Amino acid sequence: MNLVWLLLLPILYFALFSDGGSRPASVNIGAIFTFDTINGKVARIAMKAAVDDVNSDLSILGGSKLALTFHDSNYSGLFGIIGALQYMEADTVAIIGPQHPVMAHVLSHLANELQVPLLSFTALDPTLSALQYPFFLQTAPNDLFLMSAIADMVSYYGWRDVIAVFTDDDGGRNGVAALGDKLAERRCRISYKAALPPDPGATRSGVTDILIKVALMESRVIVLITYAKSGELVFDVAHYLGMMGNGYVWITTTWLSTVLDSTSPLPPAKRDSIQGVLTLRPHTPDSEKKRAFVSRWNQISGGSIGLNPYGLYAYDTVLMIAHAVKAFFYQGGTISFSNNSRLSDFSGGTLNLKAMNIFDGGKQFLNNILQTNMTGLTGPIRFNSDRSLINPAFDIINVIGTGFRQIGYWSNYSGLSVVPPEILYAKPPNRSSSNQKLNNPIWPGDTTTKPRGWVFPNNGRQLRIGIPKRVSFQEFVSQVPGTDMVKGYCIDVFLAAINLLPYAVPYRFVPYGDGLENPNYNEFVRLITTDFFDAVIGDIAIVTNRTKIVDFTQPYIESGLVVVAPMRKLNSSAWAFLRPFTPMMWAVTAAFFLAVGVVIWILEHRMNDEFRGPPRKQAVTILWFSFSTLFFAHRENTVSTLGRSVLLIWLFVVLIINSSYTASLTSILTVQQLSSPIKGIESLITSTEPIGFQVGSFAENYLIEELNIPKSRLVALGSPEQYAIALEKGKVAAVVDERSYVELFLSNQCKFSIVGEEFTKSGWGFAFPRDSPLPIDMSTAILTLSENGDLQRIHDKWLSRKTCSQSTELEPNRLHLRSFWGLFLICGIACFLALFIYFISVVRQFSQEFNSEADSSSHASSRSRRLHSFLAFVDGKVDESRSKSKTKLTENSPNTIVEEDEQRRGYKRKQMEASANSSVDDYT
């Protein structure tokens, strides 16, 4: 019976695990690494463990086995190429490696030609793109994400410039390029690049020379992009040179985290040289699989080296290949190789090129790898459309004491955080600045205070501070004759601000200009971009075209453009009483006087005898009543509720208008007025008069480019004296200049004045090169001066002047309709509503009076008769209309018509008698 089961076992195994096709006994894969490196040692152990696990699990490859062979490239690109060629002769379906990007760029061409997938978890150069190298695949997050994490850290701490120290090979150069791009996206930059020889070619003397140059630079934020051997040497030299103390910031790529994870404990000398350094480590989420493998590590490694994340990626890479082989077999694929016809042309010589065959199923096998969807030791394993791994993330580590401390995470999903990325993946992405967080690290020098990140270069050079050699308005900036000393308002503000900085600033003032006329300030500022000046101070207006090329501090004084024009005395005239109101205001006021009089007459006519009589008398009554309300002297009484309501509102309007007119006329007649034909910048634009401006000011460009004023109209003036002469003699209609200059000019010039409003809003600041750290600190100092009152005291010292005595004032603005349209609107609405209510009331009364009349046989005659009756009803007095007898007539009766005519004639006769009696009374 046992013999039967032994015979059935192969059959059952074939039925369960075979796809029905022939499978090879072994599947060859290769690995190319430098065994002497930390990652080479860890990867070798991890990949062997992965192969053992795959071969022991019959559910993966069934009866086939993975056969993994290793090749030591020993830091040599040539040895790496030789290893790859040997694998190609042995019918290898995939190669893991190489370890460094230099070899990856070369071997990728070989992989493309022979269609053998090349998988690497350490050659993470971002330029190894899928388009150029379709058979090269990175099975760990590439350096583009690593550089994004470093750039986010630099931006998070508020630094602007960094120094890149890198290994001068493909990986280092391309990593620095990626870092520069990511920093530029955050308005940061690499200010200096220091290249190291490729591993292991760096020497102590060479590194010392490089770091001495770095120490002379301004930036103190150093990003070290290299490998373990060179990196350890750099920190040893930096510690010797005192570059691991206060003020320095060191950020390394993942090589340091592999040293910390795999070499523990560190020797004291090596540990002391990296205190306070920040480094990154590929993030692998915690899982049961990962914990189980970590617990096995000491057993499978024999305690020779510690496990780091790249060991986990090495294990998962083997697992990825095994699952791709499994899928390849289930798809009916067979592992076969064919000769490359293109190599037949190179049959001569001793190279056995014919032995290198093309993997026939290479494309299908590569596609299976790209479609991997599983969970490994490093977490979920899937590839994006750009062939990068999903969810790239890094741990951020701070070296402290005898070990290290994790201060946060970075993920491509949500940036910097103190929460593990796998938790954030369940939430909407949030890359806002307020959501970026890291725990506080311990910086070099054993301090928790965040380093400023820069110092003044320790090369003995002082900052060249440019100052303008002004000819006019020397209260702002001037040079003491015969000396190198400078003085003025702007100089005092600069000195007060720079004394508040928490560090010393070496500088010297360099005058700019010929001393004959004020310099052109646009050209003055532009010299910063040519490194002629390190900064420019003085009365420098912050305007758009200048902010595009330099950085300004916080404005220390507000100074927009204003218009200065000559003023003439406004003499009184016989028609001065008309001056308070504009013509439109007079016209509307008169119209409302008449309109209100007509409305009151309509409302009072039927019930008030004072508003009745002959047409001439009624017209006179309307005019008299309306205009007499101006003096509140109307003699006619109003008896209707509507009439009194309208009159009350109108009297309020009249009160306001009367008071405003009286106040304005009093001012005109009692105070000497000044007037100018120029009312502001609008009247200057529409006129053709010449306009003056100060030499060197931005006013010229503003008038031409922004206001489209022809250059032929502009007259350059070099001093306050020229302002006065040009304005007095009519050479210019007005002068356009900044308020700060104008206020000084007007302090002793009473014949001129500012007209209109300030039509630009700007200020003066100190200019520095783009991305310089000084403007931020200087702005903080200027704000401190403003808050403690020192800025005002400096202003009073230089710019406070006694103004000339003036008993006159500018011509006040006339009262316009826009100041009273609300009152007129209220009055108009009241009149309309009163008339509407009155009309409805009259129609209703008329309907009640005549609703009993019989309809005539002709509708037209009935309408005519009704219209005449309505007009007579409106014109009649209310008591007469109500006392008139009403007789109900039979419809279509001739007698009714006769009686109706007689009644109408009698009613008209009574009206004529009443009118005649009224005329006699008036005459008497």
Q: Which residues of 21-43 are buried (b: 16+ CB within 10 A; e: fewer)?
A: eebbeebbbbbbbbeebbbbbbb
Q: Using alpha carbons, select from 499, 399, 374, 466 the residue that is nearest to residue 777.
A: 499
Terminal alpha carbon distance of the chain: 157
**If you write DSSP's letter for every residue of 264-301 in order, what string do you get?**
-SPPHHHHHTTTT-EEEEE-----HHHHHHHHHHHHHH
Are 827 and 650 contacting, i.e. CB atoms less than 8 angstroms apart?
yes
**If you write DSSP's letter for every residue of 97-153 in order, what string do you get?**
--SSHHHHHHHHHHHHHHT--EEESS---TT--TTT-TTEEE-S--HHHHHHHHHHH
What would the mean pLDDT of 109-130 be, rounded to a whole number?
A: 87
Report pLDDT digits (tens) over 126-173.
888 777 889 999 999 999 999 999 999 999 998 989 999 999 988 899
Beta strand 478-479 with 463-468: parallel, antiparallel or unpaired? unpaired
Say yes or no to pLDDT of 621 above 60. yes
Q: Using alpha carbons, select from 438, 614, 622, 557 the residue that is nearest to residue 795.
A: 557
Least confident of 5-14, 457-466, 658-667: 5-14
Q: What are residue 193's DSSP bridge partners? A: 164
Say yes or no to pLDDT of 887 above 50. no
> What gap in Å lies between CA 912 and CA 347, rounded to an integer?
140
Identify the band that residue 21 occupies on the pLDDT scale cut at 50, 70 and 90.
very low
Least confident of 355-364, 479-488, 587-596, 784-793: 587-596
Q: Which residues of 192-215 are buried (b: 16+ CB within 10 A; e: fewer)?
A: bbbebebbeebeeeebeebbeebb
Are 838 and 660 contacting, i.e. CB atoms less than 8 angstroms apart?
no
Q: Supply the pLDDT for residue 893.
A: 42
What would the mean pLDDT of 219-226 be, rounded to a whole number?
A: 95
Q: Supply the pLDDT for residue 710.
A: 92
What would the mean pLDDT of 34-38 be, rounded to a whole number?
A: 88
> What gap in Å lies between CA 257 and CA 251, rounded to an integer?
11
Report pLDDT digits (tens) over 900-916.
445 555 544 554 454 44
Identify the band that residue 391 occupies on the pLDDT scale cut at 50, 70 and 90.
very high
Q: Using alpha carbons, select from 712, 714, 735 the residue that is nearest to residue 724.
A: 735
Q: What are residue 231's DSSP bridge partners? A: none
What would the mean pLDDT of 702-709 be, rounded to a whole number?
A: 91
What would the mean pLDDT of 696-713 be, rounded to a whole number?
A: 90
Identify the band that residue 832 occupies on the pLDDT scale cut at 50, 70 and 90.
confident
Q: What percentage of residues in the chain have a pLDDT greater than 90?
A: 45
Q: Supply the pLDDT for residue 655.
A: 80
Q: Supply the pLDDT for residue 233.
A: 95
CB atoms within 10 A of CB 81: 17
Say yes or no to pLDDT of 366 above 90. yes
CB atoms within 10 A of CB 760: 18
**If you write DSSP's letter for every residue of 594-641 in order, what string do you get?**
HHHHHHHHHHHTTT-GGG-S-HHHHHHHHHHHHHHGGGT---PPP-SH
> What gap in Å lies between CA 217 and CA 195, rounded to an integer?
15
Are 748 and 801 contacting, i.e. CB atoms less than 8 angstroms apart?
yes
Planar angle of CA 165, 167, 169, nearest 5 degrees: 140
> What gap in Å lies between CA 92 and CA 112, rounded to an integer?
14
Identify the band that residue 594 occupies on the pLDDT scale cut at 50, 70 and 90.
confident
Q: Which residue has the higher pLDDT, 355 or 421?
A: 421
What would the mean pLDDT of 39-67 be, rounded to a whole number?
A: 91
Q: Which amino acid is at 4?
A: V
Residue position matching structure tokens 């007209």? 755
Q: Supply the pLDDT for residue 22.
A: 64
Q: Which amino acid is at 764?
A: W
Q: Supply the pLDDT for residue 915.
A: 47
Torsion sign across C-alpha atoms 14, 19, 25, 29: negative
> What gap in Å lies between CA 228 and CA 14, rounded to an integer?
49
> What gap in Å lies between CA 362 and CA 112, rounded to an integer?
10
**If you write DSSP's letter for every residue of 478-538 in order, what string do you get?**
EEPTTSS-EESHHHHHHHHHHHTSSS---EEEEEES-SSS---HHHHHHTTTTTS-SEE-S
Q: Which residue has the higher pLDDT, 474 or 892?
A: 474
Residue position matching structure tokens 């783009």? 770
Q: Supply the pLDDT for residue 23.
A: 77
Torsion sign across C-alpha atoms 283, 287, 292, 293: negative
What would the mean pLDDT of 324-345 be, rounded to a whole number?
A: 81
Say yes or no to pLDDT of 814 above 80. no
Evaluate if pTM is beyond 0.85.
no
> What gap in Å lies between CA 475 and CA 748, rounded to an integer?
15
Residues 6+ apart with CB under 8 A from 674: 567, 568, 569, 570, 753, 808, 809, 810, 811
Q: Supply the pLDDT for residue 238.
A: 96
Identify the band that residue 381 occupies on the pLDDT scale cut at 50, 70 and 90.
very high
Q: Supply the pLDDT for residue 848.
A: 67
| Segment 483-486 long-range contacts (CB within 8 Å, at least 24 positions apart) | 484/509, 486/511
Say yes or no to pLDDT of 362 above 60. yes
What would the mean pLDDT of 880-888 be, rounded to a whole number?
A: 47
Q: Which residue has the higher pLDDT, 296 or 668?
A: 296
Beta strand 535-536 with 763-764: parallel, antiparallel or unpaired? unpaired
Are 289 and 376 contacting, i.e. CB atoms less than 8 angstroms apart?
yes
Identify the band that residue 894 occupies on the pLDDT scale cut at 50, 70 and 90.
very low
Q: Using alpha carbons, select from 79, 115, 65 the residue that is nearest to residue 95.
A: 115
DSSP 450: P
> What gap in Å lies between CA 468 and CA 521, rounded to an integer?
8
